[in-house]
Amino acid sequence: MAEIAMDDENCAVLEFCREPETREEISQMLGIKTAAYAMSKYISPLLLSGKIRMTNPDKRDASIRNTNHHDLYA
């Protein structure tokens, strides 16, 4: 898994994703206008590092949540 710097924005995304959130909700929380930019700048690196995961990876619009959540494998 890729290592990433845990800056304020990445920490905010991890905290925000304790419950499933959409790309658009994460973008809005970060104050970013487009979900595509939030995806490339913050969400994709966190997904690649394993710190967050898609709730349903086969579905393009799946929500995203923090992998440290207690029911990760439930």
Q: Look up residue 8 and give its two tokens.
A: 């304020």
d(CA 35, CA 41): 10
Region of residue 71 (left: phi > 0; alpha: psi -120 to 50; beta: else)? alpha
The string of pLDDT tens digits covering residues 11-56 is: 999 999 999 999 999 999 999 999 999 999 999 999 999 999 888 8
Is 64 in a helix, a strand, or coil?
Answer: strand
Q: How far is CA 56 from its chain centroid?
A: 13
Q: Look up residue 32 and give its two tokens.
A: 């970013």
Q: What is the pLDDT of residue 63?
A: 80
pTM of the model: 0.79
- All domains of the chain in start order, with CATH: 8-66 (1.10.10)
